[in-house]
Amino acid sequence: MWFRCFKRVSPLMLSALVALTLVGPARWVPAAAASSELPAAKLITTQGSGEVQVPPDSVRLNVAVQHRAATQKEAQRLTNAATQQVISAVKALGYKNMTLSTQAIRVYPEYSQRRGDELSKVIGYQASNDLEITVSNLGMQQVNEAGSKLVDTALNNGATNLNNFQAFVYNMDPYKKEALAEAIRDARQNADIMAAAAGVRVVGVQAISGSPSFSAPPVFYARAMKADMVSSGESAPVETKASKITSQVSVTFIFE
């Protein structure tokens, strides 16, 4: 009878019985017991800071050329001619890494003052061009000299206003990396001090987070300097200051 019952077992069920026999019964392990077998991570989290002072190696200024005339065409002609004169004079200084670009062109009518019921009338036109001049990859002393020469040359050769002046670092990337590396070294030093005081030692890093920040030096000329302010022929001195790059990091170290 047993043989007859066995003959009714399907091949699929037979395979399952054989596999179960070979593998044997499964052993259930409580979750708490399994987790207790893994040691908890031993961590120290510290903060680090780094700072790099970088002298500027480039200058950038924005000048405006403005002219008034009775007609729009004449105002534009005068302004364009003066702008070309500024460009030629600045290029004649001979700086190699110089770029010039027109930032804005404006033409607008000027109106008479309104009196009573009388409507304002167009009494002329004003045209203006904004020109940006950049000289890069200079030494710090050359930055001071170049800044003074560029301002004087532009304002004495047709520019009517100095809108902005900036001394800056052309390529910040190497200094950002240096500030980050210094911040991480500072964090590691702090971790070593804490670990030594606790009788342990740092053996690795679990996580790092942080980023550099940049502090620009101040502007060295007023934003609205006019040409008549340098008409005396004396060059305005330029004294640049270093840019500051700082980095703050948080590092989680592993100790044992």
Which tokens go with 230?
Answer: 């340098």
Could you state, in order of their start, the residue ranges of all structural domains in the chain?
57-109+123-170+219-232
For the chain, the C-alpha Rg in angstroms (whole number) is: 37
Alpha helices, DSSP H, located in 72-117: 72-91
Q: Please, which pLDDT band fits residue 40 given cuts at 50, 70 and 90?
A: low
In 10 A of CB 15, how many CB atoms? 10
**Given a cut of 90, is residue 37 above it in pLDDT?**
no
Distance CA 80, CA 101 (A): 14
- Measured in degrees and rounded to the nearest 5, phi and psi for residue 124 equal 165, -175
Those residues with Cβ within 8 angstroms of residue 130's Cβ, 6 or more apart along the chain or in another chain: 62, 63, 64, 102, 103, 104, 105, 163
Which tokens go with 33?
Answer: 């017991």
pLDDT (tens digit per residue) in 81-138:
999 999 999 999 999 999 999 999 999 999 998 887 788 899 999 999 999 999 999 9
The whole-number pLDDT of residue 2 equals 46
**E-state strands within the chain:** 43-54, 58-69, 98-111, 122-135, 161-168, 202-215, 225-226, 243-255
pLDDT (tens digit per residue) in 174-217:
999 999 999 999 999 999 999 999 999 999 999 999 887 877 65
Mean of the per-residue pLDDT values of the chain: 82
In 10 A of CB 170, how many CB atoms? 13
Those residues with Cβ within 8 angstroms of residue 137's Cβ, 6 or more apart along the chain or in another chain: 57, 58, 97, 170
Instruction: State the DSSP H helix or E strand holding residue 187, giving kind and residue range, or none if neither.
Output: helix 173-198
Instruction: State the DSSP H helix or E strand holding residue 151, giving kind and residue range, or none if neither.
Output: helix 140-155
CATH code for 57-109+123-170+219-232?
A: 3.30.70.2970
pLDDT (tens digit per residue) in 126-160:
999 999 999 999 977 789 899 999 999 999 999 99
Nearest residue to 147 via CA among 235, 224, 25: 235
CB 163 within 8 A of CB 64: yes
User: Would residue 172 be called left, alpha or beta, if left means φ above 0 and alpha means ψ between -120 and 50 degrees?
Assistant: alpha
CB 168 within 8 A of CB 56: yes
